[in-house]
């Protein structure tokens, strides 16, 4: 619970993909779409259903005898915190969802999971909140009943809210001791002037300090976003489709959508000039440099997201010339991170550098080195063999990670259907990767990786 800055560790490593091809759908007589083509990215038996109330259900039979991974994804994150003074509310609600229901105390609710040997947790990110776990198949009925209860009948006292507000403030203060968190806060706030991506999932400290006084404010938020049309359930494991769907219908089918609708998010105006800031961390720490560019929202309708993924692999991964030169040969860098963040609205692609002791006086040279790599990408297409190797690495990473366990596969399905709510998004991911040509990478860099769309943050530790 409360993993507000880490979104499950699956999608965060980039577009992790498998073999792809087109697939068709057919109905099985229950209103469900059954994917029948055997050559799809997901060759395990799977089907998807949308209940009458808009709740989407994704089911996969996985060879995990007696075990089912479950995930309940809610399309709400810090992106949706549009009201002043309520930053961090999505994360706060993730905590409050463990505080009991109209019939169960928080202790009684938790006992259902522990007594049935269920491993469960939750996390919040910019665009979604996720409640997930693994359960023995024979106890799936009990866990779905408990989840349905809290999603439909959440209830807690003002005293419970105040206690949880203290826990969230403690989590914020702990995060604030990490220089990476200060970098994230500074970068997001500097890069965004209107959009809610301008604050982190944790929210602003001043807002968190007012949470104890927000008891009346949390309920409209709950009704607005915790609604069946804004939720999906993913079940991966030892299941029978008909029985699993029957359980979901029995627990969630009567859930009604409230009148309150999700609020519109203010779009970010186009950035037209470079922004930069230097911040000091209050204790000694290695210097960090963050260089971010405004990039499109994640999607599979064109190759742009795929082009960025491959660009990162070729030019900034551990096998790249950049890391070979500045990290391994010169030793100026302790680490390099350039993973694309997949977001519902246009987001940031960041190159984040942590300087070594021998590189602490090389800030200007390292920034220029990144700019030089970008200029190279814009002026000359990547080697076709290098691009092909990057595609192969993506394919192999998927084969390693996606099917390592039912919860890993459930996490990927849940993550990507938050963007495009159908199993076919998994096919389209790798189709776009396959389609990327060297010229597409050049075009992406010329369009988006320009100084006018750039935001740079430098963090230095306090000198003793």
Of the candidates 171, 207, 231, 178, the residue with the CA atom closest to the CA atom of residue 83: 207
Q: Tell me whether residue 261 is in a domain.
A: no
Looking at the fold, whether 239 and 279 belong to one and the same domain comes out as: no
The average pLDDT across 263-282 equals 97
- In this prediction, residue 42 has a pLDDT band, given cuts at 50, 70 and 90, of confident
Looking at the fold, whether 157 and 25 belong to one and the same domain comes out as: yes
Q: Tell me whether residue 216 is in a domain.
A: yes
Is pLDDT at 399 greater than 80 in this prediction?
no
- pLDDT, residue 246, reads 98
Looking at the fold, whether 21 and 104 belong to one and the same domain comes out as: yes
Tell me the C-alpha distance between 182 and 176, whole Å.
7
The percent of residues in the chain predicted with pLDDT above 90, rounded, is 87
Contact call for residues 316 and 336 (beta carbons, < 8 A) = yes
Is pLDDT at 31 greater than 70 in this prediction?
no
Q: Is 154 left (phi over 0), alpha (psi -120 to 50) or beta?
A: beta
**Which residues sit opposite 59 in a β-bridge?**
47, 235
Tell me the C-alpha distance between 317 and 375, whole Å.
17
Looking at the fold, whether 293 and 182 belong to one and the same domain comes out as: no
Judging by beta carbons within 10 Å of its beta carbon (0-12, 13-18, 19+), is residue 277 exposed, middle or buried? middle
Looking at the fold, whether 132 and 33 belong to one and the same domain comes out as: yes
Looking at the fold, whether 73 and 214 belong to one and the same domain comes out as: yes
Is pLDDT at 321 greater than 60 in this prediction?
yes
Domain harbouring 379, CATH code: 3.30.830.10
Looking at the fold, whether 248 and 309 belong to one and the same domain comes out as: no
Residue 121 Cα to chain centre, angstroms: 15
Is pLDDT at 22 greater than 50 in this prediction?
no
What does the pLDDT look like over 409-422, one tens digit per residue?
Answer: 999 999 999 999 99
Beta carbons within 8 Å of 305's beta carbon, 6+ residues apart: 15, 296, 298, 299, 340, 342, 432
DSSP for residue 408: H
* CA quadruple 391, 395, 396, 401: dihedral sign: positive
Average pLDDT over the chain, rounded to an integer:
91
- In this prediction, residue 40 has a pLDDT band, given cuts at 50, 70 and 90, of low
Is pLDDT at 307 greater than 70 in this prediction?
yes
The average pLDDT across 300-307 equals 96
Q: Tell me whether residue 425 is in a domain.
A: no
Q: Tell me whether residue 124 is in a domain.
A: yes
What b-and-e string marks burial along 423-435, b requiring 16 or more CB atoms within 10 Å of the CB? Answer: bbbbbbbbbbbee
CB atoms within 10 A of CB 177: 11
- In this prediction, residue 400 has a pLDDT band, given cuts at 50, 70 and 90, of confident
The average pLDDT across 318-346 equals 97
DSSP-assigned states of every residue in 179-211: HHHHHHHHHHHHH-SSSGGGS-TT--HHHHTTG
Judging by beta carbons within 10 Å of its beta carbon (0-12, 13-18, 19+), is residue 244 exposed, middle or buried? buried
Looking at the fold, whether 166 and 282 belong to one and the same domain comes out as: no
Looking at the fold, whether 282 and 181 belong to one and the same domain comes out as: no
Looking at the fold, whether 321 and 393 belong to one and the same domain comes out as: yes
Q: Tell me whether residue 264 is in a domain.
A: no
Contact call for residues 338 and 312 (beta carbons, < 8 A) = yes
Q: Which two tokens stand for residue 203?
A: 């929210």
- pLDDT, residue 381, reads 95
Looking at the fold, whether 293 and 210 belong to one and the same domain comes out as: no
- The alpha helices in 73-214, defined as continuous H runs, are 89-96, 106-115, 140-153, 158-176, 179-191, 205-208
Domain range enclosing 124 = 11-252
Is pLDDT at 266 greater than 50 in this prediction?
yes
Domain count along the chain:
2
What does the pLDDT look like over 52-99, one tens digit per residue?
Answer: 999 999 999 999 999 999 999 999 999 999 999 999 999 999 999 999
What does the pLDDT look like over 433-457, one tens digit per residue?
Answer: 999 999 999 999 999 999 999 999 9
Worst-scoring range by mean pLDDT, 97-101, 121-125, 210-214, 257-261? 257-261
DSSP for residue 395: H
Of the candidates 111, 101, 226, the residue with the CA atom closest to the CA atom of residue 153: 101
Q: Tell me whether residue 126 is in a domain.
A: yes
Strand locations in 366-450, DSSP E?
A: none
Q: Tell me whether residue 449 is in a domain.
A: yes
Contact call for residues 97 and 49 (beta carbons, < 8 A) = no
Of the candidates 282, 304, 284, 281, the residue with the CA atom closest to the CA atom of residue 294: 304
Q: Tell me whether residue 383 is in a domain.
A: yes
Looking at the fold, whether 92 and 175 belong to one and the same domain comes out as: yes
């Amino acid at each position: 619970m409360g993993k507000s800055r880490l979104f499950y560790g699956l999608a965060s490593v980039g577009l992790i993909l498998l073999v792809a091809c087109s697939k068709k759908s057919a109905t099985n007589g229950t209103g469900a779409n059954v994917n029948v083509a055997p050559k799809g990215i997901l060759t395990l038996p799977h089907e998807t259903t949308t209940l009458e109330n808009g709740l989407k259900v994704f089911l996969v039979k996985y060879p995990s005898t007696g075990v089912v991974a479950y995930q309940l994804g809610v399309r709400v994150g810090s992106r949706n915190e549009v009201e002043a003074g309520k930053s961090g509310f999505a994360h706060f609600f993730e905590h409050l969802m463990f505080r009991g229901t109209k019939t169960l105390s928080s202790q009684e609710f938790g006992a259902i999971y522990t007594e049935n040997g269920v491993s469960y947790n939750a996390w919040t990110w910019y665009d979604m909140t996720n409640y997930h776990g693994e359960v023995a198949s024979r106890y799936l009925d009990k866990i779905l009943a408990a989840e349905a209860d809290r999603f439909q009948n959440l209830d807690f006292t003002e005293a419970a809210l105040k206690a949880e507000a203290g826990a969230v403030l403690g989590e914020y203060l702990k995060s604030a001791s990490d220089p990476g968190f200060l970098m994230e806060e500074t970068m997001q706030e500097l890069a965004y002037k209107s959009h809610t991506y301008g604050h982190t999932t944790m929210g602003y400290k001043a807002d968190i300090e007012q949470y104890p006084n927000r008891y009346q404010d949390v309920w409209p938020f709950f009704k607005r976003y915790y609604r069946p049309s804004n939720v999906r359930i993913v079940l991966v494991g030892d299941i029978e489709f008909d029985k699993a769907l029957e359980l979901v219908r029995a627990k969630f089918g009567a859930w009604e959508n409230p009148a309150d609708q999700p609020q519109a998010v203010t779009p970010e105006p186009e950035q037209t000039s470079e922004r930069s800031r230097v911040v000091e961390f209050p204790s000694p720490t290695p210097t960090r440099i963050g260089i971010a560019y405004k990039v499109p929202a994640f999607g599979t309708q064109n190759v742009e997201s795929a082009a960025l993924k491959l660009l990162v692999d070729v030019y900034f991964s551990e096998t790249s010339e950049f890391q070979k030169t500045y990290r391994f040969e010169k030793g100026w860098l302790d680490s390099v991170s350039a993973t694309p963040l997949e977001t519902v609205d246009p987001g940031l692609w960041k190159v984040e550098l942590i300087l070594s002791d021998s590189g602490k006086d090389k800030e200007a040279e390292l920034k220029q080195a990144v700019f030089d790599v970008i200029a190279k990408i814009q002026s000359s297409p990547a080697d076709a063999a290098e691009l092909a190797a990057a595609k192969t690495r993506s394919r192999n990473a998927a084969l390693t990670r996606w099917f390592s366990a039912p919860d890993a596969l459930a996490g990927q399905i849940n993550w990507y259907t938050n963007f495009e709510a159908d199993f076919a998004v998994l096919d389209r991911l790798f189709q776009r990767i396959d389609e990327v040509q060297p010229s597409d990478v050049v075009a992406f860099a010329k369009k988006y990786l320009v100084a006018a769309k750039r935001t740079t943050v430098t963090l230095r530790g306090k000198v003793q």
